[in-house]
Amino acid sequence: MKCGCDNCFECPYADCILDELEEKAKADKKKLANKKRHAIWYQANRERVKAKALANYYEHREQRNEQKKEYYKRKKMEGLLDATK
């Protein structure tokens, strides 16, 4: 559907499709700007983010391993896992 009005300021239609397109374009520009800003921040802080993720992994590694053991032990007891594995 195309708008038949030449001037958007004097548009007789209350729900003009061109208004929606302009709002969507503005939102897309904001999303793109946010993505670019995030990419720049990540490039500047990549080593710090990586170090933080590794520290978190090693800090909680034993806890995760215990949770996995309990999970598989419970599933084995319920008969959902093959006992030969």
Per-residue pLDDT of 39-85, as tens digits, reads 999 999 999 999 999 999 999 999 999 999 999 888 888 876 665 55
CB-facing half-sphere around the CA of 71: CA atoms within 13 A = 6
pTM greater than 0.85 (yes/no): no
Is residue 4 pLDDT above 80, yes or no?
no
Q: Residue 1's pLDDT is what?
A: 43
Higher pLDDT, 13 or 41: 41
Average pLDDT over residues 2-8: 65
Q: Which residue has the tokens 């990586």?
A: 50
